[in-house]
Amino acid sequence: MELLRTERGRFGAATLGVDNQAALCLTEITKPRPGHHLVREVETLVQDVRKKRPNLQLLGHWTPGHSNIEGNEMGDVEAKRAARGQSSNPKHLPKAFRQRLPHSAAARKQAYRKRADKVAGQMWSASPRYDRLAMRDLRMRRPLRFFHKATMKLTRRQHNLLVQLRSGNIGLNGHLYRIGRALSADCPHCDGVIETVGHFLQVCPKYEKERQALQRRVRRPESIAELLTNPAAFKRVLRFVDDTKRLSTIFGDGD
Ligand SMILES: [Zn+2]
C-alpha cells in the first residue's frame, strides 16, 4: 500500500497477497485488539491510495505462505534483518514506522501483573503468617490417616519430629518464643528474621549445604507443603534435620 501511495505511474489493478486469512477480514473489526494500530494504519493507507488513484482496482488475495509470490524470499530476508534491529533509514520507512511502535496494552498489563504477583509472592512468603497458613493448608489437604500410614515405617522419634514440623510446635525460636521458652523469636543466625519451620527448612542461609540433599529439584524447589506431605520426601526432611543438628538438644543426633 505504501508503494501504491508513493510510486509514480499508472496502475489499473493491484493485488495484495496476504498469507493470513484473519488479516484479510480485519477491516470488519471495530473492537480494539493487539496490533489494531496496524489495521488502522492500513485503513488510512487504503483511503490515501483511493484518493490518489480513484480508478485503481484493489484486490486482496489469500496466498498461503506467500508461495510463488515474486519477492517473497527477499521480503523474508529483509524482515529478519529488521527484527535483528538492522532496520532501514527511518526516512525511507512509511510514516507510521518512523517512531517506536505502540505497546500492546494487554501485553503491558500482563507483564505488570506478573511483576506484581512476583513481588506480592515474595512479600507474602517472607511474612510470619505464611508458614502458619501453609501448615494449616497442608494439614487440610491430606487426611491425618494418610500421614500416620505413611509414617508407620519410621521410628517413633522420626514420627514425632515430622508431626512437630507439620504442626509448627517445635523447638525453633518462632514457636519457643510464642510459648515463653525463648527470649526472642529470631533465628539464631539471622537477625530480625523469625525462626519458623519454613525459614529453617527452606530459607536460612546457615543450612545451605545441608539443604542441597533436601531439595532434589534445583529449578523448582519443593514447597514446604510438598516436603511435609509427600512420603517420598520424609526421609530427606529427617536427614536434613539431623544434618543441621538444630534440634539435636531435643531430639538427639538421630538413630
Ligand atoms: Zn536463619
Query: 10-residue block means of pLDDT along the chain (255 residues)?
Result: 86 83 66 72 86 88 80 86 85 80 81 86 71 67 70 84 88 92 93 92 92 79 82 90 86 56
Q: Tell me how far the alpha carbon of residue 159 lies from the centroid of ligand 1, in angstroms.
A: 24
Q: Tell me how far the alpha carbon of residue 202 lies from the centroid of ligand 1, in angstroms.
A: 10
By CB neighbour count within 10 A (0-12 exposed, 13-18 middle, 19+ buried), where does 153 fall? exposed
Query: How many beta carbons lie within 10 A of that of residue 44, not counting itself?
Result: 14
Cell of 101: 511502535
pLDDT at 255: 46
DSSP E strands, 203-249 = none
Q: Tell me how far the alpha carbon of residue 13 lies from the centroid of ligand 1, in angstroms.
A: 76
Tallying the residues shown for the chain, one arrives at 255
Q: Tell me how far the alpha carbon of residue 195 lies from the centroid of ligand 1, in angstroms.
A: 6
Asked if 61 and 16 count as a contact pair (C-beta separation under 8 A), the reply is yes
Q: Tell me how far the alpha carbon of residue 58 lies from the centroid of ligand 1, in angstroms.
A: 72
Cell 489494531, located at residue:
36
Rounded Cα distance between 215 and 201, Å, is 10
Helix (H) or strand (E) holding 61: strand 57-62
Q: Tell me how far the alpha carbon of residue 247 lies from the centroid of ligand 1, in angstroms.
A: 14
Helix (H) or strand (E) holding 44: helix 36-52
Q: Tell me how far the alpha carbon of residue 53 lies from the centroid of ligand 1, in angstroms.
A: 76
Q: Tell me how far the alpha carbon of residue 173 lies from the centroid of ligand 1, in angstroms.
A: 10
